[in-house]
Amino acid sequence: MNICNKPHNKIAPEDLGEAAPEVKVQRARRNGWSWPLHLFQVIAWLLFLFFALVGFGILVPLLPRHWLPAGYICPGVCFIYHLVVHLTAVSIDPADANVREKNYLGPLATFNRNQHAHVIENHHCHVCDVDVSATSKHCGTCNKCVCGFDHHCKWLNNCVGERNYWLFLNSVLSAILGLGLLLLVAFYVFVEFFVDPAVLRSDQHFDALRNHMDRWFVFLPASPVETQAPAILVTAGIFILLSLVTMILLGHLLTFHIYLLWHKLTTYEYILQQRPQQQPDKVDKKQESCSSQVRPSQEADLLSGNPGYTNPRIQVEEFSTVTSGKSFPKLYVHNQEGDSKQSSSPESPSLRSVALSQA
């Protein structure tokens, strides 16, 4: 009897090296303070603290006495205003009104592609399970519908939409004004340090150090701390470099949004317009990497036939992505005509690429 070709009895499923995918519970985020915090959000707050501490604690107190009131008031008003609008933009919930009325912080419905082609159909979101306005888009990062969706801001860690767009824009503008004023102070201190350092020692605490020009005070006048001259130079130099880079990026962002306002566009709509202009060869190079990164519940939605779902990878702060329109990969949707015939064949492709111009 030939028993060599008979399969062995098994008491456990054969391990093919492919673990079954775990279904994660989908939850929505309320605002920018919802967990998890984004790295860019933490960096933004650290930069704010650095500019405020160095600017008002080290650089402004070194100004001549007749310039001190203006040195504190002008940039101080900008910084306080920026802090208020920034906190408000982060704390506000930009969700659609119908979504806010519903308790959406619990587990959300899992999107079933076999039942619905898109997340939002006929102004109804199948994930939020509410009717939404025509301008609402479902953000993949916050996992909720945002009214008047513009973009998801990583620096705020919150969506920017109809409810907080002007707060976001005022936050950018006030940051540029306040940082620009402190940058002028830093340039003045840096230059006078080599030209005439005595001009910078007008505070009464320097009277005891008249014969020690290499010794300086910081955090005047409330908490004077003695330090050496190189520390002042290095601190001012770092402040100038960081503030220049920050102002260039913020200025670029403000210019971009002024352009959008002039043409009555949102960031989302601008990106949709830029997609057909991509070169096919550059898109094809990213086809393979994109197909492995797009989750099955999202692959047919966003921007490629469903204007109601937004890609969490779209961020207005990624300047090269927004302005050039060259970093957006091709998306895929299920072949609806061949799904029923090909579902049993694992070797048959079940995805087809769609022209981005159809978005």
Q: Where are the domains of the chain?
A: 39-91+159-273
What's the CA gap between 173 and 82, in Å, rounded?
A: 8
Structure tokens, 264: 């009555």
* φ and ψ of 107, to 5 deg: -60, 135
* φ and ψ of 350, to 5 deg: -110, 10
pLDDT at site 293: 44
In this prediction the pTM is 0.70
What is the C-alpha end-to-end distance of the chain, expressed in Å?
64
pLDDT at site 280: 53
* φ and ψ of 328, to 5 deg: -110, 120
Tell me if residue 145 is catalytic: no
Under DSSP, the state recorded for 306 is: B
Cβ neighbour number for residue 356 with a 10 Å cutoff: 21
Number of residues that this document lists for the chain: 359
pLDDT at site 249: 96
pLDDT at site 349: 37
Look up residue 255 and give its amino acid. T
Counting beta carbons within 10 angstroms of the beta carbon of residue 254, is it exposed (0 to 12), middle (13 to 18) or buried (19 or more)? middle
pLDDT at site 199: 86
pLDDT tens, N- to C-terminus, the chain (359 residues): 454 554 444 444 444 444 444 445 567 788 889 888 899 999 999 999 999 999 999 999 999 999 999 999 999 999 999 999 999 999 999 998 888 888 766 666 666 666 766 788 788 888 888 888 888 998 888 888 999 999 999 999 999 999 999 999 999 999 999 999 999 999 999 999 899 888 888 887 777 777 777 788 888 888 888 888 899 999 999 999 999 999 999 999 999 999 999 999 999 999 988 887 655 555 455 554 444 444 444 444 443 344 455 554 444 443 333 333 333 333 333 333 444 434 333 333 333 333 333 33
What's the CA angle centered on 163, arms 158 and 166, to 5 degrees?
90
pLDDT at site 297: 41
Counting beta carbons within 10 angstroms of the beta carbon of residue 222, is it exposed (0 to 12), middle (13 to 18) or buried (19 or more)? exposed
Q: Which of 139, 145, 147, 153 is catalytic?
A: 153
